[in-house]
Amino acid sequence: MALVLVPEVPLADWLAGLDAQMARSPAYFAGKPVVVDLAAVGPAPHLVAGLMDALTARAIHVIGIEGISPDVASPALPPLLAGGRTVTEGVIPDAPTPPPDAPPALEPSFLLLDQPVRSGQSVVFPRGDVTVVGSVGSGAEVVAGGSIHVYGTLRGRAVAGVAGHGQARIFCRRLEAELLAIDGLYRTADDIEPGLRGKPAMAWLEGDSMRVASLD
Amino acid sequence: MSKVLVVTSGKGGVGKTTSTAALGAALAQLGKSVVVVDFDVGLRNLDLVMGAERRVVFDLINVIQGDAKLPQALIRDKRIDNLSLLPASQTRDKDALSAEGVARVIAELRERFDWVICDSPAGIEKGATLAMHHADAAVVVTNPEVSSVRDSDRIIGMLDSKTAKAERGERIEKHLLVTRYDPVRAARGEMLKVEDVLEILSIPLLGIIPESEEVLRASNVGSPVTLSAPQSNPGRAYFEAAKRLNGEALPVAIPGEKRGLMSKLFGRRVA
């Protein structure tokens, strides 16, 4: 699973915003695969190439691009993806457009884990909420596009709202977390009020600050 | 029906080799045919703990590479007839282990023994993953301290994802063996309590081995503690653990567990 970046024009402004976000959580993109959606940027080749260089300079690992037509794709750019599948060349140009399908059934998007998340394991689910029926071990991490629910002890890292959803929250039955993050804002264990340790707790964003409170 | 058991921990020095020898000798004394296999290629110790270091001719790597047949490499224990050792090579390293070779040797051992007990090297690299790969069950050896517990958590995650059983979608049987447990220090809060270790790792408890001079002495004279001192506290604890592995339902007693003033004064500590 990869993170998706959606650049906007003017690119300079968008990059400045990205830099601000990266300054708040420098390791956020480290080692994570990223897909860039170019729908808003358009197919202009110099813009696309410049953007790729800018992302590479920020050590963001781009594994694919989407949102532009296949004829713009070139070997110099990352492979073109669509809907999670690689688009290969050789599409028959005259192929009739498929008839519009019935509206897709509304798929609930969540991840439920019946097992504890053990030290060293990383669960990444950018599409929605993650529920863990068990504990998240020290040195483990759960990354979710939506909220994170842990029905055991949260000892590792919980990173919620990764795709820019500041309304996401983190819930746990027992708070021993090493790090809590929502939409790029984070708190390490040292910054969490000691009185909350070992308690059922919830973390959420209020404006530009993270609040953590006991659920009892 | 034969069973392959891996004794593993992640962290080094917690008592994997000692526990492998003690559990192997105990199961053999309970009448099972047992082989203990040293997977710590390059840093072999099990031969010393078993008191067989002067009798090693061929080893696991020789068998894997086809230089020797399995019966040539197996060393039968002088004290118990139905206990054997397959030593590791001291002159090679873990790269000499191949997945196919290990699979072949384990399959052959399964035909000859009731219990195949694999002594895993420390770490999470090739040696450890190959030692656990064919296991039906695992004994996770943990000391009651935070670094050992976290490393064990990591290893349990690997047991649930990297073993042949996990790859087939089955569950590997996991048992927690707490070693070097000192009731006095646990009561003082200098050590994690067993209940805290259990809460963090959430796998069934196989036994608690108390910290004891007897264990050190047994290692130094090259005899598993279940052979040299079966009536000692650690000897009895290992015997009970072996019986539980064999399917007996024995309750686990926590050594020196008394609800006293000390435990009220010092609260729980967790990782």
Say whether B157 and A120 touch across the interface (CB within 8 A).
yes
Task: Tell me the average pLDDT of chain A.
Answer: 82
Confirm whether pTM is higher than 0.90: no
Q: How many CA atoms lie within 13 A of A160 on its CB side?
A: 26
Tell me what pLDDT residue A29 has: 73
Tell me what pLDDT residue B119 has: 97
Interface test with chain A among B124, B142, B145, B150, by most A beta carbons within 10 Å: B150
Residue A30, exposed/middle/buried by CB under 10 A (0-12, 13-18, 19+)? exposed
B200 touches chain A (CB under 8 A): yes
Tell me what pLDDT residue B126 has: 94
Highest mean pLDDT among A47-51, A82-86, B200-204: B200-204
A116 touches chain B (CB under 8 A): yes
Spatial distance between the Cα atoms of A124 and A142, rounded to a whole number of angstroms: 6
Say whether A153 and B160 touch across the interface (CB within 8 A).
no
Contacts of A45-54 with CB under 8 Å at 24 or more apart are A45/A72, A45/A74, A47/A11, A48/A72, A48/A77, A49/A76, A49/A77, A50/A11, A51/A7, A51/A11, A52/A77, A52/A78, A54/A11, A54/A15
Q: Tokens 């569950």 identify what position?
A: B171
Least reliable range by pLDDT among A17-21, B134-138, B219-223, B257-261: B257-261
Least reliable range by pLDDT among B187-196, B204-213, B222-231: B187-196
Tell me the chain B residues in contact with residue A137 when contact means C-beta distances shorter than 8 Å: 150, 153-154, 157, 200
Tell me the shortest Cα–Cα distance from B149 to chain A, in angstroms: 10
Spatial distance between the Cα atoms of A40 and A21, rounded to a whole number of angstroms: 20
Tell me the chain B residues in contact with residue A141 when contact means C-beta distances shorter than 8 Å: none
Task: Tell me the average pLDDT of chain B.
Answer: 92
For range B128-156, the mean pLDDT: 97
Least reliable range by pLDDT among B156-160, B166-170, B191-195, B253-257: B253-257
pLDDT, one tens digit per residue, over A110-159 is: 999 999 999 999 999 999 999 999 999 999 999 999 999 999 999 999 99
Please indicate whether residue A59 or residue A110 has the higher confidence score (pLDDT).
Answer: A110
Spatial distance between the Cα atoms of B97 and B109, rounded to a whole number of angstroms: 16
Helix A45-57 to helix A11-24 angle (10° resolution) is 20
Contact present, A190 and A213 (Cβ < 8 Å): no
Tell me the shortest Cα–Cα distance from B153 to chain A, in angstroms: 5
Share of chain B above pLDDT 70, in %: 94
Give the bridge partners for B35, in sequence order. Answer: B84, B116
Contact present, B224 and B22 (Cβ < 8 Å): yes
Tell me the chain A residues in contact with residue B271 when contact means C-beta distances shorter than 8 Å: 138, 155, 176
A156 touches chain B (CB under 8 A): no
